[in-house]
Structure 1
Amino acid sequence: MKKSFTIIIIFLFFTSSFSQNKLGNPEVDPIQIQKTFSDWSIYQSKKIMLSRDFTAFDFNSKEISKEVFLDQLANGNFIPIRLKSESSEYVYKLFKIQPKTDTSIKATINQIGFDAYKNFKMEGTAFPKFSFKDLNGNLVTNESMKGKIIVIKCWYIHCTPCIREFPQVNKLVEDYKDQKDILFISLAEDSPEQLKTFLARKPLSYSVIPDMKEYMNEALQLNSFPTHFIINKEGMISKVLPNFESLEVALAKESKL
């Protein structure tokens, strides 16, 4: 009996130590980073990757699920800060937004939290049914994509961030050109005529499907662009991602499964 009790104590000790190791110091001062919207915006764009897998802690340093973390960002009064870690693992903790902080910071955090929570809830669900033709007249359907990993980029020609990442996503297509079980498809809001004129100047290596505004608004309920989807070989949404950086990491992981 005494031996069993000792084993339990040792287990609890190591579990506690493991948790504490994850809880490193903040990368930046949580109060100082709230001084100006510009400081926060630069930090958030480079360091807060909510679509990635990460370990989350609440304001009281208690480990919580990603879902709870995102819900608190969307609806609470918290700012997310990445914690220092000896590994490449992402670890985030919630800190309170200060009373005198620019209200734009809270509004931005609530919005990115809302978008990330919505995307997270889509993961693990079936990608909505569709049957469309790309600019070359090829029919693309859920059935034709079965058994393949599908990378989908949602965009439109007047979306500056969407166009800015063209060189990166084109390179991604090149990097995976020998993996025949990975397909790259893009859904664009614009008409075939507009797209052909635009893509003659700014080539995109993805297969491009035009006139997708209604489908993206209603079936996918998108409100931010670009948005990337990774669909697994069973037709389920594996990841929903807001930028190329997150897409690159997630696709590398999915392609090895």
Structure 2
Amino acid sequence: MKNLIIILLVFVAPLISCKESPEEKNVVKKEEVIRPIKSYDYLISDYKNWWSYHYNEIALTSDFEALNEDSEKISKEDFLKKLISGDYITIEIDSEKDLTAYKLYRLPKDLDNEISNVMKNDAYRAFELFKMEGTKFPDFKVTDVNGIEYSNKKFEGKTTVIKTWFINCKACIAEMPELNEFVDIYKNKDIQFLSLATNEREPLLNFLKKNEFKYDVLPNQEHLIENKLKLTVYPTHLIVNEKGIIKKVFKKASQIISYIDQDKLMIKDEKTNLAPPPPPAG
């Protein structure tokens, strides 16, 4: 009997030791999911490679699942703060969830600091926009190019989509056809569209005769944009709720359209057939 027990243990023990534990299953599953969409080595090998990817594919002002370099979930605020340090870049990862997921990847210490400096500046701007969310839209009172008066009361009962722009801003003009289509879809669904322009009324009227833009246009808004809202990059897009609270802030038309229309995939910049702008100096 004793010999029989020993024989059974000899055969059973390997079976038990080879069985995958629940912890091991989780590790395997995690490794299968946490995969960068773009090669880290490729991105850091050349500044232009990274800039083209970052500009076209990374939307730091959007909602996303934030992961640190150990693939642990962190808050968006902490994620942006780490990017501001200049020690990391972010890469979208292959995720089984509907929400886009970005992960931090540490930059080599001996790498040229051009990527680091631009990443730091872009993350800082994204962080400033992030801090605006949940704040009250500044008080304003203005007349649009057609003589209609606007104030904060205009926000009551509707979601308001706002764009900042000026006539000589190429990026601002290039996205107008896309935004016009956006207005056509949502103009009767309790959403209104305002644009804050820095130009005076007459130049704007001349511009609008040749260029269709279906937003309501408010002239001479540089003070509101840059001194009250503290925005310095054009275009910038805001969503203000029916209580006058800034809900979201974005840098691109594609991002705000995607946010409003949650049932559609993110509309990429290819729609406007625009190449990314030249890489900013580090």
TM-score if structure 2 supplies the norm length? 0.80
Q: Does 1:151 align with 2:153?
A: no
Q: Does 1:235 align with 2:277?
A: no
Question: How much does 1:100 deviate?
Answer: 4.4
Q: Does 1:183 align with 2:192?
A: yes
Query: 2 CA distance for matches of 1:87 and 1:62?
Result: 15
Which residue of structure 2 aligns with residue 140 of structure 1?
150
* Structure 1 counterpart of 2:211, one-letter code: K
Question: Which of residues 17, 39, 49 in structure 2 aligns to 1:29?
Answer: 39
For residue 104 of structure 2, give the secondary structure of its aligned residue in structure 1.
strand
Question: How much does 1:76 deviate?
Answer: 3.4
Query: 2 CA distance for matches of 1:56 and 1:125?
Result: 23
Query: 2 CA distance for matches of 1:21 and 1:201?
Result: 54
Aligned-residue RMSD, C-alpha: 2.3
CA deviation vs aligned residue, 1:73-126 (integer Å, no higher than 9, x gap)? 122310001101234321111111123434321122111101111111110111
For residue 208 of structure 1, give the secondary structure of its aligned residue in structure 2.
strand
Query: 1 CA distance for matches of 2:187 and 2:66?
Result: 36
Question: Which of residues 114, 117, 135 in structure 2 aligns to 1:104?
Answer: 114
Which residue of structure 1 aligns with residue 176 of structure 2?
166
TM-score if structure 1 supplies the norm length? 0.87
Which residue of structure 2 aligns with residue 67 of structure 1?
77
Percent of aligned pairs with the same residue? 34
User: Structure 1 75/22 Cα, relative in aligned 2: closer, same or farther at 3 Å?
Assistant: farther
Question: How much does 1:192 deviate?
Answer: 0.8
Question: How much does 1:22 deviate?
Answer: 9.0
Which residue of structure 1 aligns with residue 103 of structure 2?
93
What does residue range 213-252 of structure 1 map to in structure 2 within 5 Å? 213-252=222-261
For residue 193 of structure 2, give the secondary structure of its aligned residue in structure 1.
strand
| Preserved CA contact (<8 Å) 1:57 1:93 | yes
| Preserved CA contact (<8 Å) 1:230 1:251 | no
For residue 167 of structure 1, give the secondary structure of its aligned residue in structure 2.
helix
| Preserved CA contact (<8 Å) 2:155 2:243 | no
Which residue of structure 2 aligns with residue 198 of structure 1?
207
* Structure 2 counterpart of 1:219, one-letter code: K
* Structure 2 counterpart of 1:187, one-letter code: L
How many residues are paired up? 242
Query: 2 CA distance for matches of 1:135 and 1:22?
Result: 55
Query: 2 CA distance for matches of 1:159 and 1:102?
Result: 31
| Preserved CA contact (<8 Å) 1:127 1:236 | yes
Query: 2 CA distance for matches of 1:109 and 1:54?
Result: 18
Question: Which of residues 40, 49, 54 in structure 2 aligns to 1:39?
Answer: 49
Query: 1 CA distance for matches of 2:155 and 2:148?
Result: 13
Question: How much does 1:147 deviate?
Answer: 1.1
Q: Does 1:83 align with 2:93?
A: yes
CA deviation vs aligned residue, 1:118-145 (integer Å, no higher than 9, x gap)? 1111101111111111000101111132
Which residue of structure 2 aligns with residue 209 of structure 1?
218
* Structure 2 counterpart of 1:209, one-letter code: L
* Structure 2 counterpart of 1:211, one-letter code: N
User: Structure 1 101/161 Cα, relative in aligned 2: closer, same or farther at 3 Å?
Assistant: farther
User: Structure 1 221/99 Cα, relative in aligned 2: closer, same or farther at 3 Å?
Assistant: same
* Structure 1 counterpart of 2:247, one-letter code: S
| Preserved CA contact (<8 Å) 2:34 2:71 | no
CA deviation vs aligned residue, 1:23-44 (integer Å, no higher than 9, x gap)? 5211112122111121111111
| Preserved CA contact (<8 Å) 1:77 1:97 | yes
